[in-house]
Amino acid sequence: MALTTCSSSFTSIPSPTWGYEVFVSYNGDDTRTRFTDHLFAALKRHEIRAFRDDKKLERGKDIWTELEKAIKTSRIAVIVFSINYAASSWCLDELAKIMECKLRLQQIVLPIFYKVEPSKLRALNGNLAQVFASHVERFGEDKVQSWRAALTEAANLAGWDLGNDAHRFESKFIEEIIGDILIKLNLAYFTVTPYPVGVESRVQEINKHLDEHAGDVCMVGICGLGGVGKTTIAQALYNLIKCKFEVSCFLENVRTRSEQSGGLIDLQEQIIYSAQVNSKKKVRDVNGGISVIRDIIQSKKFLLVLDDVWCLDDLRKLAIDDKDYFQPGSIIIITSRDKILLHLAKCDYIYVSPLLNYNESFQLFSWHAFGKDHPNENYVELTNEVIYYAKGIPLLLKVLGSSLFGKSTLEWKRTVDELQNSSFGIIEMLRLSFHSLSDKQKALFLKIALFFVGMEKNYTSKILGDSDLSFESELAVLGRRCLVTIDYLNRLTMHDLIIEMGKKINRRQSSEGAGECSQHWFHEDRRRHVWPNFQENLLESKFFESQAPFEHNLYLSDPPTMAIVKQTERLRSIEAELKLLEAENQILRQQLENERRAHRATCEDAARASWQLRVQNAALKRENVHLRMFLEDARKFAPQLNMVLPYSDLASESASSSSASNQSTIATTTPSLPWLR
């Protein structure tokens, strides 16, 4: 039986930056102090980011502009239809905007019928007819007609009906709604690249092989160069087939996340949460997580994607090493640059992602450089030259095209000359896009690349202390240049090659003494860089009290509760880094908590290792005694034998008892282990 798909196309839908997970539209006079207040409390309790107009809107701002922005940047819109909802022109404006976003942005809309009958809303009769008649007098027929259409469409959607049942508890009703919202958030689709040139043919080829294994557990590997589009293909395939599975989970950046302290546990919890949305169970250690995951995958048909895997052991720790645990019909997709790893993982099918051909490269580059599928007439030759150097790598085509958007032919020729003189390395070519940025944009790019990848956008803006307008404008430029993207959780993300480019630029600037642009992204680098500056020039006393709850202070070799340091002229150059250190402080706190959680599980292993060392020590000592006895016996039969025995008390005795002439020497190579003395 063929594996059917969720939709006929996976072409990317233009999507805004998601600022909120939920927007709630309601009539305040009907429900503000009761139902919607309880709903917002439940959303907060479940850590769902929701927009609330009576708290979020700032005085002095255009309220509708803020509301419109909140609606457009929310993944789910919840509409609480109450008795007087349609009487409010404000509510109807929100409703019309929500239904527009449903059509254009694929926003999820969830209606709640709070003590009103959906059939009456759809019919627009009775009191509603009078309400809309009065609206026509105030706002005109055209506007009211758009409200009627939006209300009818929304009332026809599947939703939650509280009705007039007085015996139904609102708290239970709200918890059911929250569960539905959590599931819908978990099932959210990825927004694939805005110009998916060449993606469809690659996805369909993989899907054809999935059809051949329908009904079986199938593991598929996608491999290829960095920047060739493995993640994009995996996301598009995930979107295409995910609705056919009971549980679906996409683990992004497995390599980077697994290398972090507690990262594997976080990945395990993501798999567990995808299957048990309301579960608050925390994984204490990796082995415990493996057991929980195996219980889950045996009971449900799973679609699991692991993106950017570099270590085979990570698959074992995520319980993906044995397909026998999975329900029949489950699919596991792994992306990696290492084809051998995919063979060792026993993938049923390995798809090697090809480079783009000339026509695909021409289209993709043109979309980013000109906003259409072909170049302007006087840029055709220059376009062909850039495409030649990009060698069919989508990431390069996107970044180079975006950096040349709107530039003159003179600037294009300069870029082509630099490409011609470059070492043809991908990172060297990517660096050309960095050089086209302003100083402020360069500084923001480096800070994001070194510190804030994976961080929430608004949190990053707050830490950096930039004005909202400045941060947003500079970030928008980085986004247009395809250097930074923002995911559906409003987190800043970068391709790993672009991160590596940022680190190389930073290292070069550090060696050249580039000043403020030079950053330090490893904690130890920071400690070595900052602490000597505090120690060298002590001029004026200043007290700093450590607020961090970890045993080892970031700067000091010992854990004092208060350190007396002197403020120096050099401190001024360091103060700019303190906000970044505060951000790292938060990260380190979380890492420490994860390490403490894992510590208990490792104690037994440490004790076992210590016991094994003691046993080995005792065994080696016994061997040493036997060796001494053997050498004593050997000397009786060969008195002229001189034995040079490092680390043995017998060496000096042998040397003194041997004659200086006619000696035979045996040099032993006993290991220099302290317990052999």
Taking the alpha carbons at both ends of the chain, their separation in whole angstroms is 72
DSSP 371: S
H/E stretch holding 75 reads strand 74-81
- Give me the amino acid identity at 253: N
Q: Which residue is listed with tokens 């758009």?
A: 146
Question: ∠ at Cα 552 (548, 553), nearest 5°?
Answer: 55
Q: Read off the tokens for 174.
A: 């709200």
Rounded Cα distance between 404 and 400, Å, is 6
The half-sphere exposure of 277 on its side-chain side, counting CA atoms within 13 A, is: 19
Degrees (nearest 5) of the Cα angle 543, 525, 570? 45
Task: Give the angle subtended at the CA of 567 by the CAs of 562 and 571, to the nearest 5°.
Answer: 110
Would you call 666 helix, strand, or coil by DSSP?
strand
Specify burial of residue 196 (Cβ count, 10 A radius: 0-12, 13-18, 19+). Answer: buried
474 is catalytic: no
Residue 503 in tokens = 């680190």
491: DSSP letter: B
Neighbours of 130 (CB within 10 A): 11
74 DSSP β-pair partners: 20
Is-contact 159 189, C-beta < 8 A? no
In angstroms, the CA 374 to CA 518 distance is 39
Q: Given 94, 252, 360, 584, which residue is catalytic?
A: 94
The partner residues of 544 in beta bridges, in order of sequence, read: 563
Alpha carbon distance 252, 306 (integer Å): 7
Q: What is the spatial distance between Cα 207 and Cα 4, in angstroms, rounded to a whole number?
A: 9
Catalytic residue numbers, as ranges: 94
